[in-house]
Amino acid sequence: MSLPLEGKSALVTGSSRGIGRAIAERLAADGAAVVINYARNKQLADEAVKGILEEGGKAIAIPADVARPAEVRRLFDEAEKKVGGLDIVVGNAGVVLEKSFAESSEADYDYVFNINTRGMFFTLQEAARRIRDGGRIVAVSTGGTKMPFAKVSLYLGSKGAVEQFVRSLSRELGSRNITVNVLSPGFTDTDMLLEQYRAYGASLSPFNRIGTADDVAEVAAFLASDAARWITGQNVQAGGGVV
């Protein structure tokens, strides 16, 4: 019995750790040849690749800072050379900053928006130009855009823009049978989840726990599969019932 993504190739940005790594591992387990992208931590990226290879999957690591459009283009160039034309692109690279609106500086704004918004825009742009017909594009946002939180205005604002990118892009790529969706994790056990939100997040879920990276990766794998061919332009919440 063939794997659901056998013969497909996938690129996952920001996938050396956390949710991105779990998504890369899940896509590889489903048969895809996966490109793990990282900005700085080569050791973590190499460990992720090694783990996939040991499980019989296919993976390589390519460094690139998605905040720099030239590096995004190089990332796609190298990915195509090493794994062939891309069928799946998951834009996952992102950062969070906790700071009040009044105290946030220009440098804070640039830091968050350069990665979360500028980086995602040019990742989606390259994906739109290069992904094969029938492909899958997934942009990772956050369930936090549906909820009011203090001191994370830059993070939530940067992700809100991404959600609008996806709504528009999905209309542009439908004629090529390419789906474009947002995946919005809720409170998830990664190093990006601020400590004070762990117990609070668990209390909001009917399951009385926060999510795992693997929980979110399962939803990403569905959106990357043929089973999701009739879903596009949507914001899929993966937050354990927290809305």
Closest by CA to 136, choosing from 91, 80, 167, is: 91
Residues with catalytic roles: 141, 155, 159, 197
Closest by CA to 110, choosing from 69, 67, 161, 162, is: 67
Q: Following CA atoms 184, 38, 124, 22 in sequence, which dihedral angle do they give, to the nearest 10 degrees?
A: -30
CA dist., res. 48 & res. 109, Å (int): 30
Closest by CA to 141, choosing from 180, 100, 98, is: 180
